[in-house]
Structure 1
Amino acid sequence: MQSLTCYHKTARFRGVDLLGHQWNQQYKYGAEQSIIFRVYFEGMSGTPYQMIVAGMKSGSRVRTAVIRENTVIPYNRHCELEQWTAT
C-alpha cells in the first residue's frame, strides 16, 4: 500500500478498513471528496499498529493526511502524499 510505505518505510501492511466517505475536515485542504480508512500494519519488531488516514480528491489531484496513529516512531511528515499530486 503506497500510503503506508510513504509514511513508514519499514512497515508491513496487514489490512485496511473503510471508515467513512466524507471527512469533516476536508475543507481545510480544499478537497471536493474524501474517504477515511484505517490501516493495520506491523513495525520491524512485529508490533501491531494502526493509522487513520484521509484520502482526498480535488479535480484530478489526490493527497492523503494522517488523522491519527498509535506508533512509537512518528510518521514521515515529508511523505509526498501529504501534498496534492496529479493522478
Structure 2
Amino acid sequence: MASLFNPVTPENPGYYVEKKITPIAANKILCAGGGSFLLGKALKLVGQKKIGSFIGSWALPLLVVGGYRKITDSLDAESNKGAM
C-alpha cells in the first residue's frame, strides 16, 4: 500500500496520466477547453442541446488540467532557475 503514494512508481494512478499529457503544451489544453466551451454554447444556441451539453461538459476538466500544467510548469521553471 505504501507504493501507491510514491509518485515515481508506475503503481501510482496519476503516473500514466502524467506521462500521456506531458507532450501536450499547457496553452493547447487551455485553448481546447475554451474552444469546447464556445462550441458547446454555439451548438446549444443553434438547437443541438444534447451534443452541445456533451461538448460543453469537457470545458471544465480541460481548463483544470491546463491550469494545473501551467502552474506546475512555472514552478518547475522557478526551481530549475534557482538551482543554476
Q: What TM-score do the two structures reach when normalised by structure 2?
A: 0.20
Give the structure with the larger helix fraction. 2
Give the structure with the larger strand fraction. 1
